């Protein structure tokens, strides 16, 4: 009975997404056509994208609890580098809700740029990176740095580069730590627990009966001048391992 219910519930969710989300994304598409200096700081774009993210999650029936909002900087103060663990496609709207209307730039997997409509938004508003190419990854970091250095914008990064299958945190690429060090900005750790049980990688079923998904926003982490970016990335990785272990994933 549970499998039948979830299959019907998931089908209904997909239908709602297909009918409603493209029309909402059209607004973002229009705003994404603005020149660089206007589109990345256009808070209307982020108002709409946050609304879409709330809509996607509510339509899916996911139960969500967020703690640590007091650790988020207020616009336009203290732009930061958001770092998240990655277990599900739904991590993206989850983090959009956390970042809210504060202007932000995602580092996203290059292959996502080929998705119809969504890919257009990514090509205009995100920095796409091929993690299999050191040259491409380096160029993506340089572009991200140029978009952040003189602007009050967050960067949002999944440093694992791909989704985990079991909820455990994988190895981190250290590019986020290099950005934090070069820009002298704090890392804001966003620990997501339980989403791999709701909508795991390689599954089409959304388990709306799964336990509550928790998001814990940690206090900002600063990289001391004496610590290298690689060491700092390792320290942040340990932070996530400990946080997920305490949350029971």
pLDDT tens-digit map of 42-91 = 999 999 999 999 999 999 999 999 999 999 998 988 999 999 999 999 99
What are 98-137's pLDDT values in tens digits?
A: 999 999 999 998 988 888 878 999 999 999 998 888 888 8
Distance CA 76, CA 132 (A): 34
- Categorize the per-residue pLDDT at 248 as very low, low, confident or very high, splitting at 50, 70 and 90: low
What pLDDT, on a 0 to 100 scale, did the predictor assign at position 112? 87
Query: Who's near 2: CB < 8 A, 6+ residues apart?
Result: 209
* Contact of 60 with 9, CB cutoff 8 Å: no
- C-alpha closest to that of 178 among 67, 62, 47, 83: 83
What pLDDT, on a 0 to 100 scale, did the predictor assign at position 55? 96
**DSSP letter, residue 43:** H
Delimit the domains of the chain by residue range: 2-247
Q: Which residue has the tokens 């997501």?
A: 192
Phi first, then psi: give them for residue 157, nearest 5 degrees: -140, 135
Q: Which residue has the tokens 């059209």?
A: 26
Distance CA 137, CA 140 (A): 5
Distance CA 60, CA 205 (A): 10
Distance CA 163, CA 158 (A): 9
Q: What is the mean pLDDT of residues 138-154?
A: 94
Q: Strand 104-109: give its sheet, edge to edge.
A: 64-67, 213-217, 187-193, 81-84, 154-157, 104-109, 127-129
- C-alpha closest to that of 87 among 208, 171, 169, 183: 169
Q: What is the mean pLDDT of the chain?
A: 93
- Fold classification of 2-247 is Glycerol-3-phosphate (1)-acyltransferase (3.40.1130)
What are 186-236's pLDDT values in tens digits?
A: 999 999 999 999 999 889 999 999 999 999 999 999 999 899 999 999 999
């Amino acid at each position: 009975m549970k499998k039948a219910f979830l299959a019907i519930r998931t089908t209904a969710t997909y239908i709602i997404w297909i009918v409603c989300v493209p029309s909402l994304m059209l607004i973002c598409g229009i705003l994404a056509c603005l020149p660089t200096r206007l589109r990345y700081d256009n808070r209307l774009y982020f108002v709409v994208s946050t609304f879409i993210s709330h809509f996607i999650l509510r339509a899916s029936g996911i139960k969500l609890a967020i703690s640590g909002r007091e650790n988020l900087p207020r616009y336009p103060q203290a732009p930061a580098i958001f770092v998240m663990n990655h277990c599900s496609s739904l991590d993206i709207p989850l983090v959009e809700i956390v970042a809210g209307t504060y202007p932000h730039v995602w580092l996203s997997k290059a292959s996502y740029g080929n998705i119809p409509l969504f890919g257009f938004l990514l090509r205009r508003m995100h920095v796409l990176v091929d993690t299999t190419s050191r040259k491409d990854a380096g160029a993506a970091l340089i572009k991200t740095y140029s978009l952040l250095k003189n602007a009050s914008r967050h960067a949002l990064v999944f440093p694992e580069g791909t989704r985990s299958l079991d909820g455990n945190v994988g190895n981190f690429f250290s590019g986020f730590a290099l950005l934090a060090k070069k820009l002298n900005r704090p890392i804001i750790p966003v620990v997501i627990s339980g989403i791999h049980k709701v909508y795991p990688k390689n599954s089409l079923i959304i388990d709306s009966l799964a336990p509550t998904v928790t998001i814990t926003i940690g206090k900002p982490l600063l990289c001391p001048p004496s610590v290298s970016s690689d060491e700092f990335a390792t320290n942040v990785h340990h932070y996530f391992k400990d946080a997920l272990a305490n949350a029971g994933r």
